[in-house]
Structure 1
Amino acid sequence: MHRTAIPLLTACLLTPLAWATPPLPEWRESDGYLIGVVVQYQGQTYRALQSHTAQKGANWNPASTPALWQLHHGLVQRCAPWQAGYSYALGDQIRFEGDYYRARQAHTAHKGTEWQPPRVPALWQPIQQCEAVTPIPPGNTDTINGIKVPPNPGAAGRKTLAGIDADQDGVRDDVQRFLAQEVGQHPARFKYAMEMARITQLEILSASGNDREKARGLFNQWRLANSCFHDTFSDSTEDYEWRLKFSKKNAALISNTPERISANKKGDELVGGMMFHSPLEYQCD
Structure 2
Amino acid sequence: MRRPFLAALLTTTLLVPAFAAPPLPEWREGDGYLIGVTVQYQGQTYRALQSHTAQKGANWNPASTPALWQLHHGPVQRCSPWQAGYSYQLGDQIRYEGDYYRARQAHTAHAGTEWQPPRVPALWQPIAQCDAVTPVPPGNTDTINGIKVPPDPGAAGRKTLAGIDADHDGVRDDVQRFLAQEVGKHPARFKYAMEMARITQQEILTAGGNDREEARRLANQGDLPLSCFHDTFNSSVEDYEWRLKYSKKLAALHANTPERMAAIIKNSELLGGMMFHSPMRYRCE
Range class of TM-score, shorter chain: 0.5 to 0.7
Partner of 1:150: 150
The partner residue of 2:77 within 12, 30, 37 is 37
Aligned residues: 197
Shift of 1:136: 1.1
Q: What secondary structure, in the 3-state scheme, does the structure 2 residue paired with 1:181 have?
A: helix
Q: What secondary structure, in the 3-state scheme, does the structure 2 residue paired with 1:136 have?
A: coil
Partner of 1:192: 192
Partner of 1:243: 243
Partner of 1:14: 31
Partner of 1:229: 229
Are the aligned partners of 1:93 and 1:100 in contact in 2 as well (CA < 8 Å)? no
* One-letter identity of the residue aligned with 2:184: G
Runs of 4+ in structure 1 deviating by more than 6 angstroms, as ranges, are 131-134
Are the aligned partners of 1:196 and 1:226 in contact in 2 as well (CA < 8 Å)? yes
Partner of 1:159: 159
Distance 1:48 1:189, change over 3 A: same
Q: What secondary structure, in the 3-state scheme, does the structure 1 residue paired with 2:281 have?
A: coil
Are the aligned partners of 2:220 and 2:277 in contact in 1 as well (CA < 8 Å)? no
Q: Give the structure with higher Rg (CA).
A: 2
- Ranges in structure 2 where 5+ consecutive residues have no aligned partner: 1-28, 37-47, 51-72, 82-98, 116-121
Q: Distance in 1 between matches of 2:49 and 2:154?
A: 25
Q: Distance in 1 between matches of 2:103 and 2:265?
A: 35
> Are 1:284 and 2:266 matched, yes or no?
no
Are the aligned partners of 1:136 and 1:166 in contact in 2 as well (CA < 8 Å)? yes
Distance 1:146 1:131, change over 3 A: farther
Q: Deviations over 1:153-191 (max 9, x none)?
A: 000001111111111111000000000010011111101
Distance 1:93 1:214, change over 3 A: closer
Q: What secondary structure, in the 3-state scheme, does the structure 1 residue paired with 2:160 have?
A: coil
Distance 1:240 1:131, change over 3 A: farther
TM-score normalised by length of structure 1: 0.61
Backbone CA RMSD of aligned residues: 3.3
Distance 1:48 1:266, change over 3 A: closer
Q: What secondary structure, in the 3-state scheme, does the structure 2 residue paired with 1:282 have?
A: strand
Q: Deviations over 1:94-138 (max 9, x none)?
A: 65646699xxxxxxxxxxxxxxxxxxxxxxxxxx74577861122
Shift of 1:197: 0.4
* One-letter identity of the residue aligned with 1:252: A
Q: Distance in 1 between matches of 2:125 and 2:107?
A: 8
- Ranges in structure 1 where 5+ consecutive residues have no aligned partner: 1-11, 23-31, 39-46, 50-73, 80-90, 102-127
> Are 1:214 and 2:214 matched, yes or no?
yes
Shift of 1:92: 7.1
* One-letter identity of the residue aligned with 1:15: G
Q: What secondary structure, in the 3-state scheme, does the structure 2 residue paired with 1:148 have?
A: strand
Counterparts of residues 60-139 of structure 1 (less than 5 Å): 76-77=101-102, 95=109, 97=111, 129=123, 135-139=135-139
Distance 1:98 1:137, change over 3 A: farther
Are the aligned partners of 1:94 and 1:100 in contact in 2 as well (CA < 8 Å)? no
Shift of 1:269: 0.3
Q: Distance in 2 between matches of 1:182 and 1:159?
A: 25
Are the aligned partners of 2:32 and 2:280 in contact in 1 as well (CA < 8 Å)? no
Shift of 1:267: 0.3
Distance 1:75 1:146, change over 3 A: farther
Q: What secondary structure, in the 3-state scheme, does the structure 1 residue paired with 2:143 have?
A: strand
Q: What secondary structure, in the 3-state scheme, does the structure 2 residue paired with 1:15 have?
A: strand
